[in-house]
Amino acid sequence: MLKTAKTKVVKIQRVQDFIFHKLTLFFAALVLIFLVGIILSLIVSAWPTFKEFGFKFFISTDWDVVNSKFGMVISIYGTLISALIALIIAVPLSFGIALFLTEISPNWLKRPLGTAIELLAAIPSIIYGMFGLFVFAPIFGDYIQPVLQSLFGKIPIIGSLFMGAPN
């Protein structure tokens, strides 16, 4: 009697495993189908741009509105540099906070500080970006950029990083 009940449970578990396996495969395939759909949608939507400007659009530095000649190199470069700066700031800061919370901070401080950090993670990144744009950008432009220009402005290549937008 015990053996038949046990085999019945094993059969039910096998059926459940089979169903779970097939459902997991289905949803994994669905994710891949959505990914391919997104990529195809991007290609179809971007095709008029490729037709108008060609693939040279990605390797050109032109930005001539009058003659409708545009290039993406400067935008891509700016994106990569800003991402690199963000990583240079964020990675040491996040590791430092994690090490402080796990190794150094007293027990009474771990919970409130951890909660505060989780609340900061709930704020959308656009809010941080707007805060940086309206608070830090004027401070950097008025106080930090002139000092950097006077120190590094004469050095080739590096000096151009601190020149700011053209007048």
- The count of other CB atoms within 10 Å of the CB of residue 70 is 16
Instruction: Sketch the domain layout of the chain as residue ranges.
Output: 1-53, 125-167
pLDDT of residue 164: 63
Question: pTM of the entire structure?
Answer: 0.54
| pLDDT averaged per 10 residues in sequence order, the chain, 167 residues | 76 94 97 98 90 81 79 87 92 94 92 92 91 90 84 76 63
- The count of other CB atoms within 10 Å of the CB of residue 110 is 13
Q: Give the CA distances from residue 134 to residues 10, 89, 139, in Å, rounded to whole numbers and listed in that order.
A: 63, 19, 9
**Which pair of structure tokens corresponds to residue 71?**
């290039």
pLDDT of residue 108: 93
* H-helix or E-strand spanning residue 156: none
Tell me the one-letter amino acid at 35. L
The C-alpha atoms of residue 121 and residue 94 are separated, in whole angstroms, by 12
pLDDT of residue 152: 79
pLDDT of residue 167: 53
The C-alpha atoms of residue 6 and residue 11 are separated, in whole angstroms, by 9
Report the sign of the C-alpha dihedral through residues 27, 30, 35, 38, in that order: negative
End-to-end CA distance of the chain: 90
pLDDT of residue 165: 62
